[in-house]
Amino acid sequence: MSTDKALEKAASPSRESAKEKVNIHDKILEAAIKLFSVKGFNGTTTKEIAEAAEVNEALIFRHFSTKRDLYGAIIERKISEEPGVEMSLETHRDSKDDRLVFTAIAERMFDKCGRDPSFMRLLHFSALEGHDLSDMFFDTYVEYINMLISDYIDTRVKDGAFKGLNPLYSSKAFIGMVVNQIIVQELFGEKKKNKTDNKELIGTFVEIFLEGIKTSPA
């Protein structure tokens, strides 16, 4: 056996071990997301997560010191796994096409939550159970999005395109409209009961919002 082949053979177990570690990490996260979104944080045990992930319970604590750390990892993963609302805003903000900007934001919110309703349920469980775990998401992401949207609104106020309303409260008003409808669709089952044309719905929300915030033509 050549030296190169001997070295390759010696190195391969560590590479496989690292790959296996990543796979176990992901399996635990996926199992936890499913269980937390159905049973809540307090109602889910690490034993149940281990069984769903098909791993030894001790492995969970090797990857995550506490169940809280596991929840935190889920939040981080959901925020970072794909571009969120901020991408839609950053893409179109320089156009100052208000209808395009707010339509893109709403479309991204509906699309993201529609493809991953378990995350919405998970966040609501954490809030209803009275602990601060949902604050991880709101402090690190929701407030950031509010800041970006309110900054855009403030710019348009200075341009004279929008009324001199509080930019942060205006941002909350728009997000509130969209989030409320997403909650009704995803958590209260409206999606199963009624067929909603999200394109028309978003267009209506944007129209209502812009009619309320835009300045009147001179």
pLDDT at 185 over 90: no
For the cut 90, the answer to whether the pLDDT of residue 104 exceeds it is yes
Give the model's confidence band at 218: pLDDT under 50 very low, under 70 low, under 90 confident, else very high.
low
Interval 23-38: pLDDT, tens: 888 899 999 988 988 8
Residue type, 57: E
Residue 214 phi/psi, 5° resolution?
-75, 150
Give the phi and the psi of residue 64 in degrees, each rounded to 5: -135, 120
Q: Which residue has the higher pLDDT, 211 or 6?
A: 211
CATH superfamily of 82-213: Tetracycline Repressor, domain 2 (1.10.357.10)
**Max Cα separation, the chain?**
86
Task: Assess if CATH 3.30.70.1150 describes domain 3-73.
Answer: no
**Residue among 123, 119, 167 nearest 146 (CA):** 167
More confident residue, 216 or 205: 205
Give per-residue pLDDT as tens, 35-83: 988 888 888 899 999 999 999 999 999 999 888 888 878 877 877 765 6
Q: What is the residue extent of each domain of the chain?
A: 3-73, 82-213
Reply yes or no on whether the pLDDT at 15 is more than 50: no
Mean pLDDT, rounded, for 111-121:
79
Q: Are 179 and 110 in contact (CB under 8 A)?
A: no
What average pLDDT does the structure give for the chain? Answer: 83
Burial class (CB within 10 angstroms; exposed 0-12, middle 13-18, buried 19+) of 1: exposed
